[in-house]
């Protein structure tokens, strides 16, 4: 591969950047509801101190940088001043990745490039690039609509058929619950491919990639080899799989199981998958694969006909089977669909609560550019053309005119759904621990069947012990008497299953309570907005030619522009 790089290096210097912060605040650039935290934004947002808190990087930027035969720097979560400082260093091109709610930030960043570096080309990308007429709304030179690696390779004159390589990067940053850091390295990111053939009418991702699936890793063997290299580089066998419907390719997933069993290397995976794909793949195979978390779109009970992926499947039964196998479930539901009224929407809210998933995502029905839903609503004249893109995030108001939900009724309905789900089913962390307990109770019975089953049982047992540290904190912060009694009973169940806490575990429980106390004070006096640290990453073509890791990661505090530390565990691995 080094010869290919040497022959095709165009010597362009490129900066790829996400939008600037601060995030999750009301200012001229954004809205407080658009938080730079996936779970706290749209999943556990009503759970207060118990909410899952972590940041995700702008993953696509790292993949493009790792696959270009030229020098590329990635700037993630910069401040506006930090972005200005960086572009002044001189680049041939600056790529700006954004989503619709961050439109005005991308517009400002393009203006800043024109002001400070008039000779630099501006490239727009990300889901925000799908906005109609974005070329005129944001002054730029190029717009990347869809998959970016091949577009950028064509842009710099690189061979489009060069192997796709996979960077070794964490899936999350700053992972905390009750202010307590989750121990050990965070899961690594794995991207086997992009897009989804199911192409749900509202799904911007599947439409963005042309309603088809493009595999980067086409076989189970390729996935296994990539996982092994990333795991060795980062020191963790856990992966967050960024793939819209990972189990849809059943043969590839089964081959991955065969590779793990053949090499006696058993990874664990957090996956997105549809009900029909899970049913076809089989829950027993999910246990063998090492799935510990599944994100499933159940969407709606009252409009099942719109979602073929859920036809003939009983969600409550499916969730129970998964949780009994130690697999945590995130079920997603949609509110304020076209058929919803204030009278019938409660049936869908109660439906999502009743499936008893580990956690539930509620999103407002939001037509985003490029989707079939967007085109349909535009044709009907329903879109709120005058609503700023900053409000197009699905967690406050509708971006289309729904006759049954005027004013702030959609927002009130959404908040009520999150609140009721939390009060009825208790905190997500309580449920995650309960799922692990259920999984170990059942999976340990299978341990004698094979080495795979034995390892899977031990992995779930380790999860029980790790997360049980938070049970005293859950009791102290219980949302109601129901959760308190549930937590007490679960703690007794854990003791009966794995024994009393060791001295070390007992000290960790005390420490967790102390940290949670500090966290509660922090929320009370400083608010719950957490700004991600700026991450600056260099991908040097010379390092690639020499076979060295091209990634040098630096975290920069929000208030300085000095390098604070080098993350040496970052690595560069080939999918081949």
Mean pLDDT of 390-396: 91
Query: Quick one: 137 and 272 in the same domain?
Result: no
Please report the pLDDT score of residue 200 as a whole number. 83
Please report the pLDDT score of residue 543 as a whole number. 66
Query: Quick one: 229 and 304 in the same domain?
Result: yes
How would you class 381 by CB atoms within 10 Å of its CB: exposed for 0-12, middle for 13-18, buried for 19 or more? exposed
Query: Quick one: 540 and 507 in the same domain?
Result: no
Mean pLDDT of 14-34: 93
Whole-number Å distance between alpha carbons of 144 and 123: 7
Q: Are 15 and 93 in contact (CB under 8 A)?
A: yes
Mean pLDDT of 399-410: 95
Let me know if residue 359 belongs to a domain: yes
Mean pLDDT of 99-123: 96
Let me know if residue 182 belongs to a domain: no
Please report the pLDDT score of residue 463 as a whole number. 95
Let me know if residue 79 belongs to a domain: yes
Lowest mean per-residue pLDDT among 43-52, 491-500, 524-533: 524-533
Which phi and psi (to 5°) does residue 311 adopt?
A: -60, 130
The pLDDT of residue 370 is above 80: yes
Please report the pLDDT score of residue 214 as a whole number. 84
The pLDDT of residue 570 is above 70: no
The pLDDT of residue 150 is above 50: yes
Q: Are 560 and 536 in contact (CB under 8 A)?
A: no
Query: Quick one: 494 and 567 in the same domain?
Result: no
CB environment 7-38: b (16+ within 10 A), e (fewer): ebbbebebbbbbbbbbbbeeeebbbebbbbbe
Q: How confident is the model at residue 65 (pLDDT cuts 50, 70, 90)?
A: very high
Confirm whether pTM is higher than 0.85: yes
The pLDDT of residue 566 is above 80: no
Tokens for 282? 């089989």
Strand partners, 177: 52, 180
Let me know if residue 438 belongs to a domain: no
Query: Quick one: 247 and 370 in the same domain?
Result: yes
Please report the pLDDT score of residue 212 as a whole number. 84
Q: Are 340 and 404 in contact (CB under 8 A)?
A: yes
Tokens for 355? 């499936």
Mean pLDDT of 509-523: 95
Query: Quick one: 513 and 395 in the same domain?
Result: no
The pLDDT of residue 107 is above 70: yes
Which phi and psi (to 5°) does residue 335 adopt?
A: -115, 155
Whole-number Å distance between alpha carbons of 235 and 251: 28
Whole-number Å distance between alpha carbons of 295 and 360: 9
Let me know if residue 8 belongs to a domain: yes
In whole angstroms, what separates CA 238 from the centre of its chain? 14
Contacts of 30 (CB under 8 A, 6+ apart): 22, 23, 24, 101, 102, 104, 105, 390
Q: What is the pLDDT of residues 432-475, one digit of tens each?
A: 999 999 999 999 999 999 999 999 999 999 999 999 999 999 99
Query: Quick one: 454 and 343 in the same domain?
Result: no
Let me know if residue 430 belongs to a domain: no
Strand partners, 488: none
How would you class 531 by CB atoms within 10 Å of its CB: exposed for 0-12, middle for 13-18, buried for 19 or more? middle
Let me know if residue 175 belongs to a domain: no
The pLDDT of residue 103 is above 90: yes
In whole angstroms, what separates CA 60 from the centre of its chain? 12
The CATH number for 207's domain is 3.80.30.20
Tokens for 149? 């690696």
State the residue for tokens 């972005």: 83
Give, in order, the Cα–Cα distances in Å from 340 to each of 331, 334, 335, 400.
Answer: 19, 10, 8, 14
Q: What is the pLDDT of residues 284-307, one digit of tens each?
A: 999 999 999 999 999 989 876 667
Which phi and psi (to 5°) does residue 124 adopt?
A: -100, 140
Whole-number Å distance between alpha carbons of 343 and 354: 18
> What domain range includes position 325?
187-425
Task: Answer with the one of 395, 425, 455 that is the final residue of a domain.
Answer: 425
Whole-number Å distance between alpha carbons of 338 and 462: 45
Mean pLDDT of 152-173: 91
Whole-number Å distance between alpha carbons of 251 and 318: 22
State the residue for tokens 């390729």: 222
The pLDDT of residue 568 is above 70: no
Whole-number Å distance between alpha carbons of 239 and 245: 15
Q: How confident is the model at residue 545 (pLDDT cuts 50, 70, 90)?
A: low
Query: Quick one: 490 and 401 in the same domain?
Result: no
What's the domain count of the chain?
A: 3
**Helix ranges, 158-242 (H):** 204-208, 220-234
The CATH number for 146's domain is 3.40.50.2300
Local structure of 163: helix, strand or coil: coil
Which among 83, 35, 75, 34 is positioned nearest to 55, based on CA atoms?
Answer: 35
Lowest mean per-residue pLDDT among 58-67, 207-216, 495-504: 207-216
Q: How confident is the model at residue 262 (pLDDT cuts 50, 70, 90)?
A: very high
Q: What is the CA radius of gyration of the chain?
A: 24
The pLDDT of residue 111 is above 90: yes
Please report the pLDDT score of residue 271 as a whole number. 96
Query: Quick one: 132 and 266 in the same domain?
Result: no
State the DSSP string of 68-99: -SSEEEEEES-BHHHHHHHHTT--SEEEEE--
Whole-number Å distance between alpha carbons of 331 and 171: 20
Query: Where are the strands (E) in 394-539, listed by range?
Result: 534-539
The pLDDT of residue 321 is above 90: yes
Please report the pLDDT score of residue 304 as a whole number. 62
**pLDDT-above-70 percentage for the chain:** 92
Let me know if residue 297 belongs to a domain: yes
In what order do the strands lie in the sheet containing 359-364? 188-190, 238-241, 268-272, 291-299, 328-335, 359-364
Please report the pLDDT score of residue 7 as a whole number. 42
The pLDDT of residue 571 is above 90: no
Lowest mean per-residue pLDDT among 50-59, 176-185, 406-415, 440-449: 176-185
Query: Quick one: 362 and 460 in the same domain?
Result: no
Tokens for 70? 């030229």
The pLDDT of residue 71 is above 50: yes
Give, in order, the Cα–Cα distances in Å from 448 to each of 4, 445, 455, 456, 457.
Answer: 49, 7, 10, 11, 10
Whole-number Å distance between alpha carbons of 385 and 374: 12
Mean pLDDT of the chain: 89
Q: Are 86 and 79 in contact (CB under 8 A)?
A: no
Query: Where are the strands (E) in 273-395, listed by range?
Result: 291-299, 328-335, 359-364
Query: Quick one: 454 and 416 in the same domain?
Result: no
CB environment 152-173: b (16+ within 10 A), e (fewer): bbebbebeeebebbbbbbbbbb
Query: Quick one: 138 and 221 in the same domain?
Result: no
Task: Answer with the one of 397, 425, 453 that is the final residue of a domain.
Answer: 425
Whole-number Å distance between alpha carbons of 71 and 540: 5
Q: What is the pLDDT of residues 411-430, one digit of tens each?
A: 999 999 999 999 999 999 99
């Amino acid at each position: 591969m080094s010869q290919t790089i040497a022959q095709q290096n165009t010597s362009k210097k490129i900066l790829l950047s996400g939008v600037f912060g601060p995030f999750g605040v009301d200012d001229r650039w954004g809205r407080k509801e658009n938080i730079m935290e996936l779970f706290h934004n749209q999943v556990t947002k009503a759970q207060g101190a118990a909410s899952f808190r972590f940041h995700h990087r702008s993953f696509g930027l790292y993949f493009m940088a790792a696959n270009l035969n030229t020098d590329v720097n990635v700037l993630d979560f910069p401040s506006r001043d930090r972005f200005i400082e960086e572009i002044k260093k001189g680049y041939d091109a600056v790529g700006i990745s954004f989503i619709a709610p961050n439109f005005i930030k991308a517009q400002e960043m393009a203006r800043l490039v024109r002001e400070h570096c008039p000779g630099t080309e501006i490239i727009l990308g990300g889901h925000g690039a799908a906005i109609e007429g974005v070329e005129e709304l944001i002054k730029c030179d190029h717009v990347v609509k869809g998959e970016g690696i091949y577009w950028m390779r064509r842009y710099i004159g690189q061979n489009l058929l060069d192997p796709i390589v996979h960077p070794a990067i964490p899936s999350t940053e700053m992972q905390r619950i009750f202010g307590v850091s989750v121990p050990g390295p965070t899961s690594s990111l794995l991207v086997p491919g992009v897009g989804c053939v199911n192409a749900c009418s509202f799904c911007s991702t599947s439409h963005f990639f042309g309603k088809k699936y493009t595999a980067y890793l086409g076989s189970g063997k390729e996935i296994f080899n990539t996982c092994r290299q990333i795991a060795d580089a980062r020191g963790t066998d856990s992966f967050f799989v960024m793939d819209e419907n990972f189990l849809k390719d059943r043969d590839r997933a089964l081959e991955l199981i065969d590779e793990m069993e053949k090499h006696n290397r058993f990874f664990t995976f957090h996956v997105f998958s549809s009900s029909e794909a899970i049913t076809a793949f089989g829950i027993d195979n999910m246990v063998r694969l090492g799935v510990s978390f599944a994100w499933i779109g159940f969407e709606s009970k009252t409009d099942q006909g719109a979602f073929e992926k859920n036809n003939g499947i009983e969600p409550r039964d499916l969730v129970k089977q998964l949780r009994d196998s130690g697999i945590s479930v995130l079920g997603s539901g949609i509110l304020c669909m076209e058929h919803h009224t204030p009278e019938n929407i409660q049936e869908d809210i109660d439906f999502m609560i009743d499936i008893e998933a580990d956690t539930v995502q509620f999103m407002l029905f939001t037509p985003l550019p490029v989707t079939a839903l967007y085109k349909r609503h535009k044709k009907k004249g329903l879109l709120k053309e005058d609503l700023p893109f900053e409000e197009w995030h699905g967690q406050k108001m509708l971006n289309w005119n729904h006759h049954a939900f005027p004013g702030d009724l959609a927002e009130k309905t959404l908040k009520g759904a999150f609140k009721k789900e939390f009060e009825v089913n208790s905190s997500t962390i309580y449920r995650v621990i309960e799922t692990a307990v259920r999984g170990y109770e059942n999976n340990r019975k299978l341990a004698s069947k094979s080495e795979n089953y034995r390892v899977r049982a031990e992995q779930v047992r380790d999860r029980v012990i790790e997360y049980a540290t938070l049970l005293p904190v859950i009791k102290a912060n219980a949302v109601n008497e129901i959760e308190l009694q549930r937590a007490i009973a679960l703690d007794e169940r854990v003791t009966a299953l794995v024994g009393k806490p060791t001295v070390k575990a007992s000290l960790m429980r005390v420490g967790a309570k102390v940290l949670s106390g500090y966290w509660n004070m922090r929320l009370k006096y400083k608010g719950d907005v957490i700004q991600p640290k700026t991450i600056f990453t260099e991908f040097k073509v010379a390092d690639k030619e020499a076979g060295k890791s091209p990634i040098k990661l630096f975290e920069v505090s929000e208030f300085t522009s000095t390098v604070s530390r080098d993350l040496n565990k970052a690595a560069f691995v080939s999918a081949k």
